[in-house]
Amino acid sequence: RTFPLIPGEQAPMEAGDGITYTTLLTREEQVEVLNRLDFVLKNIIELRKEVEELKNSLQSLAGEIIGEVKSHLEETQKVTRRRRYPFPRERSDSTGSSSIYFTASSRGANTDDGESEGGYTTANAESDYDRESERESEEGEDEVSCETVKTARRDSLDLVNEDETVLVFDSTTEEEFGQLLQQADQLHSGNNQEKREGFQLLLNNKLVYGDQQDFLWRLARAYSDLYEITEDADEKKSYASDGKEEAEAALQKGDQSAEGHQWYAILCGQFSEHESIQKRIQAGYVFKEHVDKAIALKPDDPKSYYLLGRWCYQIAHLGWLERKTASALYEAPPTATVHDALQNLLKAEELSPGFSKAGRVYISKCYRDLGNNSAAVQWMNLASELPVITNEVAISALYLADTPI
């Protein structure tokens, strides 16, 4: 039965029904109800869109996983085939030892000689004993030969690396290396042009110091600087990718470098800016893991607490879609509160007062979210007292204010 919209208006009557109904709402109240219903309808439409987007994201994630598994299986099969048949083997009548001799291959050489992947040929690879063992299974024989070749090549590479190391330390001194690192640190703290000079300085010395951990994480930091300076999206992604590789190489030299963990985390965050939402969420987990390691290794470094505070703040403000996506990817989605963010940011300020202008801004945001407006105003005023520092962009280069993780 419908009801009249105008007070006092008589509703349509059915058989035996002569009662007059009047509305309980005024016209203004009716308009408010209609507005609220319209608001609810719009939210339902937006929710349906978010659900559809989440569905598409999960389908994309499933496709990526399938592609990665397929690629891994194909690569494994290729490696297996290369190991079983490293090169065509030449039979020899030699009755001597089974030593393997490597000679550089060149044009016009005998094409019967087997050429390895490294550009070397082999001769006298088998003895009479090897020929007698041909009665055994071909697969077993190939595996033995492959292991022999791999052992010899590994010994050869070890000798080359040792010679190169001696050459490096004979031609340079520890003092010169220290001066190079000091100069790189100074250029990193300068303006954009000085950052470019620092980046080029490190690139020019990579062949000499590329196996030193302190050099590698500084090179990764320089890539992060270039990421901040450039405006081109493709260049940004390239700098972040290359810098991430250098930071990873630094950590491969040893897991006890707090700076290596810091810059690996930062570059993961930068690189994830050009990835899908799933990749950004995964990068968030990696970021948190390496910042925690940096704090454990160097608990008096304010930068690590600042980075962790930023991470906690953004986790506390994750949207519905990001939380659902994280729940679909992980059994235990990341959790953090505004209070957690505030404690870490205050810790950075305690260790180094005025360490970060952005840090004080986020402290103000935390107090505002917690309802302490007077403290929020106080910290915003303190932030305004600090000058803008050029290298602060690199320190806060996660863009957490614009991304889920």
| d(C-alpha 356, C-alpha 383), whole Å | 8
Q: Which residues contact 277 (CB under 8 A, 6 or more apart)?
A: 57, 321, 322, 325, 404
Q: Which of 265, 337, 310 is nearest to 403 (CA)?
A: 310
pLDDT digits (tens, 9 = 90+) for 116-142: 333 333 333 344 444 444 444 444 444
The answer to whether the predicted template modeling score (pTM) of the entire model surpasses 0.75 is no
Residue 356 reports pLDDT greater than 60: yes
**Overall residue count recorded for the chain in this entry:** 405
pLDDT, mean over the chain = 74
Residue 178 reports pLDDT greater than 50: yes
Map residue 399 onto helix, strand or coil.
Answer: coil
- Using pLDDT thresholds of 50, 70 and 90, give the confidence band for residue 100: very low
Query: Span 153-161, mean pLDDT?
Result: 42
Query: Span 213-224, mean pLDDT?
Result: 97
Q: What structural domains and CATH numbers belong to the chain?
A: 188-299 (1.25.40.10)
Query: Span 37-46, mean pLDDT?
Result: 86
Q: HEC string of 324-376?
A: HHHHHHCCCCCCCCHHHHHHHHHHHHHHCCCCCHHHHHHHHHHHHHCCCHHHH
Copy the structure tokens of residue 137: 């299974």
Best mean pLDDT range from 80-94, 191-205, 332-346: 191-205
- Using pLDDT thresholds of 50, 70 and 90, give the confidence band for residue 402: very low
Map residue 405 onto helix, strand or coil.
Answer: coil
Q: Which residues contact 148 (CB under 8 A, 6 or more apart)?
A: 98, 100, 125
pLDDT digits (tens, 9 = 90+) for 251-296: 999 999 999 999 999 999 999 888 888 888 888 889 999 999 999 9
CA 29 to chain centre: 53
pLDDT digits (tens, 9 = 90+) for 43-85: 888 888 888 888 888 877 877 888 777 777 777 766 554 444 3
Q: Which residues contact 241 (CB under 8 A, 6 or more apart)?
A: 271
Map residue 123 onto helix, strand or coil.
Answer: strand
